[in-house]
């Protein structure tokens, strides 16, 4: 089959460019570029054949098709040669029934998609494997790329550094100083990336990296580069596959730069176009109240959008005031009858801690999504029997200070609702037994 894919201007001027060109915006009109596929060729395979192809490959060993992303290669990036693919078997993350947490909220069919159980601990791996593989292909075709680079709130940089070092390509990382966790900071350092901590916020790092991107020999890995979206699209395909090709009712996803919510929508739209599904879920995008430009736009029925200066939030990966994928995301939310809601610092921390009590270990961004879900249940926007999926975007182990801070009493302040502080006591049998008794009888 002659599968094909290319960049196309999203602003309607229709200009196309090859994926091997180092370009992020349309030369005609400055519009963002989107990856397009030759859908007519994809449609020549029946829905049943696509499903059985994906099933045969899923989580098996044949490289690279056992990867959750590359198992869907034809729908993701068919033009990259298998020999240039850099995969660490991303995707294939667990989707599990959160029975106890759902019960507490009043939901019988709540599921969590653990995208953080991945090579570098966040969903960013899904897109980065595609981007770095494309760069490897460009270099193989004698393109002059000396390094890949990104600005990051911590997870994009971890992912880029890992895949770039697996490919043997130098990586340049721009991070806002003291605004990423220690765990996120050490990842690119360990992988040998040039790691620059700048005295600014994410949006400040982004401004500099965009300037650097004028040089064609540094390849930009931020989500303004829509190649990553193609890999992240597989989140939706994988969810549907994990449910034996049934479409859920609702998906709740945290949003910052809004690439992931866009990817989620585009994945479902592609499945619909190929006849693999026959309806769409509804999507709720969850923002931190302190970094909520999309929520504010939603309040105007998406007629207005204003970039803001994001305030400091525990949900650091979504502390973004000027999201690059804003227009893509709004298009997706309109198509999916979507909603946007927000969570305060207290709400997101309580929601994460409450769900942790039922066996999870949530990152703060997942806490934002869980807090929004809680409000949706209270508003009766979701019904008891609705099948609801929460996208958990990162592994909680990357955010220990968030948890340590929560389970710590501050003198003079009321304790958090789900506090579970460690108790220090003498190494004495009677004393230990007394504490256990007091705990179990409480
Ligand atoms: C990147 C990231 C997000 C936000 O995704 P966007 O595509 O920027 O909206 C949410 N949570 C985590 C943990 C992330 O790393
Ligand atoms: Zn254009």
Mean pLDDT of 61-76: 97
pLDDT (tens digit per residue) in 247-280: 999 999 999 999 999 999 999 999 999 999 999 9
409 CB-contact burial (10 Å; exposed 0-12 / middle 13-18 / buried 19+):
exposed
Q: What is the DSSP letter of 71?
A: G
255 lines ligand 1 (CB under 6 A): yes
Question: Does residue 143 or residue 176 have the better pLDDT?
Answer: 176
Peptide bond into 64 cis (omega under 30): yes
What ligand 1 atom has the least distance to the C-alpha of 329?
Answer: 9
Q: Pick from 335, 285, 289: which is nearest to 315 by CA?
A: 289
Mean pLDDT of 184-213: 95
What's 289's domain CATH number?
3.40.50.1100
pLDDT (tens digit per residue) in 127-136: 999 999 999 9
Of 394, 397, 398, the one to substitute when testing ligand 1's pocket (max ligand atoms within 8 A of C-beta) is 394
| Residues counted in the chain | 442
What's the CA gap between 402 and 423, in Å, rounded? 20
Q: Pick from 114, 129, 198, 139: which is nearest to 159 by CA?
A: 129
Parent domain of 260: 95-119+229-403
Of 32, 117, 121, 123, the one to substitute when testing ligand 1's pocket (max ligand atoms within 8 A of C-beta) is 123
Question: Helical H runs in 32-123?
Answer: 39-42, 47-57, 73-76, 99-105
364 lines ligand 1 (CB under 6 A): no
Question: Buried (b) or exposed (e) across 424-441, using 16+ Cβ within 10 A?
Answer: eeeeeeeeeeeeeeeeee
What's the CA gap between 341 and 344, in Å, rounded? 10
What ligand 1 atom has the least distance to the C-alpha of 365?
Answer: 11
CA of 255 to the centre of ligand 1 (A): 6
Sequential DSSP letters for 124-158: HHHHHHHHHHHHHHHHHTT----EEEEE-SSHHHH
CB 165 within 8 A of CB 159: no
pLDDT (tens digit per residue) in 399-423: 999 999 999 888 898 999 999 999 9
What's the CA gap between 325 and 33, in Å, rounded? 11
Q: How many helices (H) and strands (E) does the chain have?
A: 17, 13
User: Does residue 1 register a pLDDT over 80?
Assistant: no
pLDDT of residue 5: 97
Question: Helical H runs in 89-226?
Answer: 99-105, 124-140, 155-167, 182-190, 202-212
317 lines ligand 1 (CB under 6 A): yes
- The gap between the terminal CA atoms of the chain, to the nearest Å, is 66
What's the CA gap between 237 and 439, in Å, rounded? 45
Of 151, 155, 391, the one to substitute when testing ligand 1's pocket (max ligand atoms within 8 A of C-beta) is 155
What's the CA gap between 108 and 100, in Å, rounded? 9
What's the CA gap between 317 and 339, in Å, rounded? 21
pLDDT of residue 67: 98
CB 170 within 8 A of CB 194: yes
Mean pLDDT of 142-147: 89
396 within a domain of the structure (yes/no): yes
pLDDT (tens digit per residue) in 323-381: 999 999 999 999 999 999 999 999 999 999 999 999 999 999 999 999 999 999 999 99
What ligand 1 atom has the least distance to the C-alpha of 315?
Answer: 11
173 within a domain of the structure (yes/no): no
255 within a domain of the structure (yes/no): yes
Q: Which ligand sits closest to the CA of 263?
A: 1
Residue 442's pLDDT band (boundaries 50, 70, 90)? confident
155 lines ligand 1 (CB under 6 A): yes
Enter the tokens of residue 98: 């959160």
124 lines ligand 1 (CB under 6 A): yes
Q: Which ligand sits closest to the CA of 15?
A: 2
Residue 181's pLDDT band (boundaries 50, 70, 90)? confident
Mean pLDDT of 270-297: 98
What ligand 1 atom has the least distance to the C-alpha of 253?
Answer: 10
**Whose Cα sits closest to atom 2 in ligand 1?**
317
What's the CA gap between 365 and 345, in Å, rounded? 11
Of 157, 257, 286, the one to substitute when testing ligand 1's pocket (max ligand atoms within 8 A of C-beta) is 257
What ligand 1 atom has the least distance to the C-alpha of 363?
Answer: 13
What ligand 1 atom has the least distance to the C-alpha of 154?
Answer: 15
310 lines ligand 1 (CB under 6 A): no
Enter the tokens of residue 8: 């196309």
Q: Which ligand sits closest to the CA of 16?
A: 2
Angle at alpha carbon of residue 262, lines to 284 and 319, rounded to 5°: 75
What's the CA gap between 227 and 7, in Å, rounded? 9
Sequential DSSP letters for 11-42: TSS--EE-TTS--SB-TTT-PBEEEEE-HHHH
What ligand 1 atom has the least distance to the C-alpha of 263?
Answer: 7
CA of 91 to the centre of ligand 1 (A): 16
**Cα dihedral 217, 326, 375, 95 sign:** negative
Enter the tokens of residue 225: 């580069």
283 within a domain of the structure (yes/no): yes
333 within a domain of the structure (yes/no): yes
CA of 1 to the centre of ligand 1 (A): 35
Mean pLDDT of 234-258: 98
Of 112, 122, 398, the one to substitute when testing ligand 1's pocket (max ligand atoms within 8 A of C-beta) is 122
348 within a domain of the structure (yes/no): yes
Q: pTM of the entire structure?
A: 0.96
294 lines ligand 1 (CB under 6 A): no
Tell me how many domains the chain contains.
1
CA of 16 to the centre of ligand 2 (A): 8
Mean pLDDT of 135-159: 94
As residues whose CB is below 5 A from the ion ligand 2, the structure lists 9, 11, 13, 15, 26, 28-29, 31
User: Does residue 143 register a pLDDT over 90?
Assistant: no
What ligand 1 atom has the least distance to the C-alpha of 255?
Answer: 9
366 within a domain of the structure (yes/no): yes
CB 339 within 8 A of CB 250: no
User: Does residue 239 register a pLDDT over 90?
Assistant: yes
């Amino acid at each position: 089959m002659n599968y094909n894919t290319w960049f196309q201007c999203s602003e309607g001027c229709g200009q196309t460019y090859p994926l091997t060109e180092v370009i992020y915006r349309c030369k005609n009109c400055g519009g963002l570029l989107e990856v397009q596929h030759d859908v007519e060729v994809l449609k020549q395979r029946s829905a049943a054949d696509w499903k059985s192809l994906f099933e045969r490959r899923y989580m098996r060993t044949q490289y690279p098709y056992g990867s959750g992303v590359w198992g869907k290669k034809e729908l993701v990036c068919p033009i990259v040669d298998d020999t240039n693919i850099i995969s660490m078997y991303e995707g294939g993350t667990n989707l599990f029934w959160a029975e106890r947490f759902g019960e507490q909220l009043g939901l019988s069919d709540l599921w969590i998609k653990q995208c953080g159980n991945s090579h570098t601990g966040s969903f960013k791996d899904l897109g980065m494997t595609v981007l770095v593989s494309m760069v490897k292909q460009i270099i193989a075709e004698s393109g002059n790329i000396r390094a890949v680079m990104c600005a990051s709130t911590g997870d994009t940089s971890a992912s880029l550094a890992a895949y770039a070092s697996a490919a043997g390509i130098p990586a340049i990382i721009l991070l806002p100083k003291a605004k990423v966790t220690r765990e996120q900071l050490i990842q690119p350092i360990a992988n040998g990336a040039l790691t620059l901590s700048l005295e600014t916020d994410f949006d400040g790092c982004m401004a500099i990296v965009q300037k650097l991107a004028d040089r064609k020999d540094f390849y930009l890995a931020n989500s303004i580069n829509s190649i990553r979206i193609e890999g992240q699209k597989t989140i939706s395909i994988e969810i549907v596959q994990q449910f034996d090709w049934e479409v859920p009712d609702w998906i709740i996803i945290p949003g910052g730069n809004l690439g992931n919510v866009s990817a989620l929508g585009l994945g479902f739209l592609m499945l619909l176009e190929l006849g693999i599904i026959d309806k769409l879920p509804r999507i709720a995008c969850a923002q931190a109240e302190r970094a909520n430009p999309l929520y504010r736009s939603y309040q105007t029925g998406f007629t207005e959008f204003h970039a803001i200066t994001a305030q400091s939030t525990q949900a650091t990966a979504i502390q973004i005031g000027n999201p690059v994928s804003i227009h893509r995301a709004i298009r997706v939310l309109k198509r999916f009858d979507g909603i946007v809601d927000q969570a305060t610092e207290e709400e997101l921390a309580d929601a994460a801690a409450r769900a942790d009590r039922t066996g999870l270990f949530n990152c703060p961004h997942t806490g934002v999504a869980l807090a929004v879900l809680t409000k949706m249940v209270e508003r009766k926007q979701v019904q008891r029997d609705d099948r609801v999926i929460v996208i958990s975007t990162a592994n909680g182990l990357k955010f220990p200070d968030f948890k340590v801070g929560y389970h710590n009493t501050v003198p003079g302040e009321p304790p958090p609702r789900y506090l579970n502080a460690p108790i220090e006591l003498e190494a004495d049998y009677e004393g230990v037994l007394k504490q256990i008794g007091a705990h179990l009888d409480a």
